[in-house]
Amino acid sequence: MPVRQMKESSEQHLVIKPHLQNPMNQAKKTTKAAQNGKGPPPQENHNQTSPHSKNKGRRRGRGGRKPDQGDVMMRPSCRPCTATLTSTANENAENGCISDMGFPTSSKSLTFAPRPGYGQVGTKCIVKANHFFAELPDKDLNQYDVTITPEVSSRTVNRSIIAELVRLYKESDLGMRLPAYDGRKSLYTAGQLPFAWREFKIKLIDEEDGVNGPKREREYRVVIKFVARANLYHLGQFLAGRRADAPQEALQILDIVLRELSTKRYCPIGRSFFSPDIRTPQRLGEGLESWCGFYQSIRPTQMGLSLNIDMASAAFIEPLPVVEFVGQLLAKDVLSRPLSDADRIKIKKALRGVKVEVTHRGSVRRKYRVSGLTSQPTRELVFPVDENSTMKSVVEYFQEMYGFTIQYTHLPCLQVGNQKKANYLPMEACKIVEGQRYTKRLNEKQITALLKVTCQRPRDRENDILRTVQHNAYDQDPYAKEFGIKISEKLASVEARILPAPWLKYHESGKEKNCLPQVGQWNMMNKKMINGMTVSRWACINFSRSVQDSVARTFCNELAQMCQVSGMEFNPESVIPIYNAKPEQVEKALKHVYHVSGSKIKGKELELLLAILPDNNGSLYGDLKRICETDLGLISQCCLTKHVFKITKQYLANVSLKINVKMGGRNTVLLDAVSSRIPLVSDMPTIIFGADVTHPENGEELSPSIAAVVASQDWPEVTKYAGLVCAQAHRQELIQDLYKTWQDPVRGTVSGGMIRDLLVSFRKATGQKPLRIIFYRDGVSEGQFYQVLLYELDAIRKACASLEPNYQPPVTFIVVQKRHHTRLFANNYRDRSSTDRSGNILPGTVVDTKICHPTEFDFYLCSHAGIQGTSRPAHYHVLWDENNFTPDGIQSLTNNLCYTYARCTRSVSVVPPAYYAHLAAFRARFYMEPDMQDNGSAGDGNGHGAKATRAAGDYSVKPLPDLKENVKRVMFYC
């Protein structure tokens, strides 16, 4: 899940004018059935009546009518500007009331779209969810501020201090109260303490004090002061749907209370708890092991408070003797051979920040954090032992002081402490402390090993979750008892519906013109792409030493035939013979093929480059994509050596699908789309956006985040997408380049940005301006909903207004979440009609009751068939809806779009525009040059991606190189 970049502020919200709130309020007044929780009756898609048909005239009044096909200029609509933001904009006069792009501050009146009822379409069924009903306590919840002096940065030490305080004073000064503590500044009680303010003095033995000398006893001054009483009535009203604002304080208290005992028992990391006792740790290689654990979170739902429990796994550093860890890390014998400089660097990176304990002092197990590694071997290390600078070797010191003989004197020592006063510890005298999570990037073998541990069949996962709940024994939890919280031990039973799969349209020349997927999948047999493209000029470059020319030719011929069979016109002959190249000369080889091919086809462009890569190709793939897409303007398709040797029809068919969409074609479309039967899409030109931000790995502190936005470029089919990418400040979640302005010496203030560019691109591709916008936003955590909606909806508004005065098509803004912990299980695994082959729930399963938000417009949709492990449904949260979607409308549209993913003949787990945005952002990371780790200089701001972005108070970010125009127009990231 993305790391929170900004603290949520209650002051940073839109001020909504009354005329904009009315359409959202009208969504509540759909039908009596919807108000009663039954929702509208099932309807055929093409006859769907809802707020859409009832309000058609009203929407047309704000630009919702269909334009003439020959209408070249974007026509202004009479829809008024909808959002007023506090701003220092100087473009207000130019763009009406649309304000300048900055992070605005305004009042607290932004509310998310309310739930307009419940869906009715689909076959009803019962599923189980890993949510456990939590009975709301009837006790007063009180919050106290905790100040510990001297200040302590470690939560563990803080908890030890408060635990000692409770042990000493529970029966006296605390009035028999058992408080829950968050490890920082807040302490909570059920009922008031006998005082409003009190100071305590607590003594603790410092387990990690100093390298030499006895352990010291430290004294802490603890001040506890009453702050507030949590409003449980407010929480009850919210859970009953009578209040829209969640009482976060009360929810936080209950969450902390239920985590208190597990925090003491297990190793807490984020919202999860891990222990080597839950299941035997499995080795991942290079000194790492997997620990099993469980995720726990209290959530407000329609059924009341719910405790969400899920299984979890994470990589931990194996608690080995340091010498053994180093041996595993380097995969060689380190006891007899000296280390190379490369070995030393690898060890230093792996151990920096890791906590170790000494083993050479019997029962005394002091702990230290590793700060570095000595450049010299232990036998060469000396240090001063007194004020006269008398020098003594490390080997002598340990022999004389502890009677410990250092055997492996050729190994370096660990450095602990700071640089000014670093202390040396021999590797063989240290052991890694248990329970340290590994936060750096895992290699491919480690990832594969970890996935084997985490991949559980649904029934096994369900049983493990139930065992976890029983083992946690919340009914015996002293903290749960103290606060009056009761947790059910049964999985929640939830009403669900299985949405029908959509009919897909293929080309008329194929034997099968239409196709109805079965259990989320189908194949290309007897079908032809609905828009197969032509590839006349192509070349192949072979970077794999093990692939002979004859093998490569056979593969290319087979691939060309498959493209033809699938509906493309593909020239069986390449422009030039297959060119063999070394991976380390990728740029030289690509430019050679590009220029030689160009001279042979006399000025025409090479349309496609096939590239055969070694299976383990390091940076080759990324370098090839960067050069092709930002330098040469080449569309490329990479194939691994293992697939070239073992040619299967399934593989060739999948590659042909990817090639076709990269060339600008369409593989299939929804039959309802070409029949104009998709509600709120078919009736007027509609553009569907997908947006995502990917952040760098932990430890890459200066690498920028990458934002990507894709948008549909065809209507009414809504299948082809164009994409744009940009770099922005490190771990910034708000997409900075959605809309931007800059000063041009000739044109003055110029507008640009990804939204504006894609709107213009849609207009050029379809001949129509979009009159409706649907925006799927991926990668946003709940704590960021307000900021992302506020900032990005504002950017969409300004991008539209910059094209025409008063051009403001209605927007539906939907957040897509995959990194959540809700899992859905079949009610009866023996009923084969209710599960797929993997034992998972069927594709199309949707849930919008009971475990969903009490008042807001959200739903869980499992749109794909499981392959292995337990399927994870996507969580869709409609934050803003000016198009007045019914639940059936948005759920069916989202599910149907999941069958249009271009790269395979399966429905996918996330709506394709969000999926494509993720792929594009991931691809763009390859475009970063090595020096992008450093602070780049700002560009001139001309055109997309050519201007450095700057977060408030942050350094400038070096822009990504521009994509070539022919690359931008197609789905290059597929």
Q: Which residue has the higher pLDDT, 325 or 1?
A: 325
Evaluate whether residue 442 is within a structural domain.
no
d(CA 913, CA 691): 8
One domain for residues 801 and 770: yes
What's the pLDDT tens digit per position in 488-540?
Answer: 999 999 999 999 999 999 999 999 999 999 999 999 999 999 999 999 999 99
Evaluate whether residue 154 is within a structural domain.
yes
Q: Which of 14-23, 38-47, 50-59 has the lowest mean pLDDT?
A: 14-23
Q: How far is the first Cα of the chain from the last one, in angstroms, to the nearest whole number? A: 23
One domain for residues 656 and 794: no
One domain for residues 681 and 656: no
Half-sphere exposure of 29 (CA within 13 A, CB side): 7
As for how many domains the chain has, the answer is 4
Residue 364 has a pLDDT of 80
Evaluate whether residue 585 is within a structural domain.
yes
Cis check for the bond before 338: say yes or no (omega within 30 of 0).
Answer: no
Domain span holding position 549: 531-662
- Beta carbons of 208 and 153 less than 8 angstroms apart: no
One domain for residues 773 and 702: yes
**Which CATH number goes with the domain that contains 915?**
3.30.420.10
Among 181, 205, 229, where does a domain finish? 229
Residue 37 has a pLDDT of 37
- Beta carbons of 816 and 910 less than 8 angstroms apart: yes
Evaluate whether residue 283 is within a structural domain.
no
Residue 663 has pLDDT above 60, yes or no: yes
Evaluate whether residue 184 is within a structural domain.
yes
Residue range 600-606: mean pLDDT, rounded: 89
**Which CATH number goes with the domain that contains 341?**
2.170.260.10
d(CA 827, CA 838): 15
- Beta carbons of 872 and 311 less than 8 angstroms apart: no
Evaluate whether residue 474 is within a structural domain.
no
What's the pLDDT tens digit per position in 883-909?
Answer: 999 999 999 999 999 999 999 999 999
One domain for residues 559 and 639: yes
The whole model's pTM is what? 0.85
One domain for residues 611 and 733: no
Residue 386 has pLDDT above 50, yes or no: yes
- Beta carbons of 304 and 134 less than 8 angstroms apart: yes
Half-sphere exposure of 38 (CA within 13 A, CB side): 7
One domain for residues 580 and 721: no
d(CA 662, CA 568): 12
d(CA 213, CA 256): 38
What's the pLDDT tens digit per position in 816-853?
Answer: 999 999 999 999 998 888 899 999 999 999 999 999 99
Task: Indicate the pLDDT class of residue 373, thresholds 50, 70 and 90.
Answer: very high
One domain for residues 595 and 711: no
One domain for residues 584 and 632: yes
DSSP state of 628: I
**Residue % of the chain over a pLDDT of 90:** 74
Residue 96 has pLDDT above 60, yes or no: no
Is the four-CA dihedral 811, 817, 823, 825 of positive or negative sign? positive
Q: Which of 407-421, 451-465, 673-687, 857-871 has the lowest mean pLDDT?
A: 407-421
Q: What is the mean pLDDT of the chain?
A: 86
One domain for residues 800 and 699: yes
Is the four-CA dihedral 483, 488, 491, 493 of positive or negative sign? negative
One domain for residues 643 and 687: no
- Beta carbons of 216 and 206 less than 8 angstroms apart: yes
Evaluate whether residue 832 is within a structural domain.
no
Q: Which residue has the higher pLDDT, 480 or 929?
A: 480
What's the pLDDT tens digit per position in 762-821?
Answer: 999 999 999 999 999 998 999 999 999 999 999 999 999 999 999 999 999 999 999 999
One domain for residues 390 and 355: yes
Structure tokens at 285: 């290689």
